[in-house]
Amino acid sequence: MFSFLPEWLLRIFFYRDLADLAPPPGSGKGVFTETPMVNNAVLDQVRSGKADWLRGDIQHFTETGIVFNHRSQGVPKGGPGKTMHIEGDMCIMATGYERPSLSFLPDDCFQENYQPPSWYLQVFPPAHMDICANNCTYINAIGTVGNYHIGIYTRFLLMFLVDPLARPNERLMKLWIDFTRFVKQRAPTGAFEFFTYAELIYWFVFVIVINPFRWKWALFVLMGVGAVLPQEIVRHEDKIRQRTRNGTSELKGL
């Protein structure tokens, strides 16, 4: 309910003289519901006069450019505006990406109340810790541009596959999901439909800290270094588990 404060600060200190590029107050596109920000590089280009930022809709192409409907701030997509012809040598269609399909996953990945994006760390279905649907369940966030969290997710998966003691079980995975929902119950969006990069890093650190058997993997998972030491420890742990199992079998035989 206080999201108007960071939105106001962004308009004053980030957009500054280009505040009209920001979504207008009351538009429903808040900082914690969507990502209504232009990055520094774009704003710098506009401020220096090297680029123009036009809000509106492309109507159709011509031989020398595009016919564009230039809308004012707050006017919805397709709304009234000034029709103008913009000439250019090249048009780059930045249309995003097509979300990878999850249809090939087992049916038990889509349990009631635990359907994507409501998965463990948002990408691991509770019934299958050996599946990492990286960037398939993403909806919206601040700052999660894939600069290194994709690697962290991949290393989490490797840790779960290599180290039996570090693996989460289905009950605890669901508990983490329920806990996150409880903490974010007053959020303007669903618990896993929007998050900040700081929150994502908190998830990573919390999941490692909560299980002592994951501590040895911390540097590898979070930084991508030091994989040899945890693997060596896992080999020793495997030997201890094997001796324990053999001893238990002998006692049963007696």
Cα–Cα dist 214/167, whole Å: 9
Q: Taking residues 194-211, report their average pLDDT.
A: 92
Quote the pLDDT of residue 192: 93
Quote the pLDDT of residue 126: 96
**Three-state DSSP state, 234:** helix
Q: Is the pLDDT of residue 249 over 60?
A: no
Quote the pLDDT of residue 1: 66
Quote the pLDDT of residue 114: 96
Quote the pLDDT of residue 228: 87
Q: Is the pLDDT of residue 89 over 70?
A: yes
Strands 140-142 and 194-196: parallel
Residues whose CB falls within 8 Å of the CB of residue 31, separated by 6 or more in sequence, listed in order: 3, 6, 7, 10, 37, 142
> Mean pLDDT for the chain?
86
Q: 175: burial class by Cβ within 10 Å (0-12, 13-18, 19+)?
A: middle
Q: Is the pLDDT of residue 24 over 80?
A: no
Per-residue model confidence as pLDDT tens digits over 9-19: 888 888 888 88
Per-residue model confidence as pLDDT tens digits over 221-239: 999 988 888 888 888 888 8
Per-residue model confidence as pLDDT tens digits over 140-194: 887 766 768 889 999 999 999 999 999 999 999 999 999 999 999 988 888 999 8
Rounded to 5 degrees, φ, ψ at 196 are -95, 165
When mean pLDDT is compared across 31-45, 56-70, 227-241, the lowest value belongs to 31-45
pLDDT tier for residue 112 given thresholds of 50, 70 and 90: very high
Higher-confidence residue of 167 and 97: namely: 167
Residues whose CB falls within 8 Å of the CB of residue 220, separated by 6 or more in sequence, listed in order: 155, 159, 226, 227, 230
Q: Is the pLDDT of residue 108 over 90?
A: yes
